Amino acid sequence: MLNLSPTEWHAIWLSLKVASGVALVTTVPAVLLGWLFARREFRGKLIAESLIHAPLVVPPVVTGYLLLVVFGRNGCIGKWLAEFDIRLVFTWQGAVLASAIVALPLAVRSVRQAVSMVDQRLEEAALTLGYSPVRTFLTITLPLAWPGILGGILLAFSRSLGEFGATITFAGNVEGTTQTLPLAIYSALQVPGEETAAMRLVIASLVLCFASLLISELLTRKAKLKLGTKRET
């Protein structure tokens, strides 16, 4: 059992809190975008896909900086939010936003793959029986693709646990407020003699990330097996 200090436990708890927030806020947009990219062709689709997936290749620090420009005190959205006394910079909610932007592309890709594996003939049959597109999605597509969708959400959760660059740029590294596991590890490495504390945090991070990735992979395989069985029947 790791002998973690209260500060280290708080970093773990905050990481789980932020990752859970990321999973919640990315679910709806990931499902909608994943379905849109899998089932619809439209003008500008390539550009839309590139914009959504840009955080996968753009340096996270750049993402954090752009968030500062938009949501900062003098940003176009930040000024508007300030009128309602809402501030995201240097808050745990800001950490959720930064992590969600970085994690969303992974969730979208997983959802798109899951939806693509659903036999369109089933959806077409439902439409011919008088089902509306929304009802077809909710009763046919969503249940069949759900394991893969859940796997994508867990993948976003896992990505959030390891987010560093965008978070430290936009939310900062405030102990007890925005210091997640990666930031706590970074801080420990900057202090001479804190190598043991850093190792404890590294082990905790590896355990959490491996567990969430394992569950995500199991759900993805379950989705493939389920859809494969459906197609055979």
For 190, the enclosing helix (H) or strand (E) is none
* pTM, 2 dp: 0.89
| Residue 145 near residue 111 (C-beta atoms within 8 A) | yes
**CA nearest 173: which of 191, 155, 156?**
191
Domains annotated on the chain, with CATH = 6-227 (1.10.3720.10)
Residue 223: predicted pLDDT: 67
SS in 3 state form for 78-101? Answer: HHHHHCCCCCCCCCHHHHHHHHHH
Q: Which residues of the chain have pLDDT under 70?
A: 1-2, 223-224, 226-233
User: How far is 198 from 191, CA to CA, in rounded Å?
Assistant: 10
Query: 10-68 pLDDT, tens per residue?
Result: 999 999 999 999 999 999 999 999 999 999 999 999 999 999 999 999 999 999 999 99
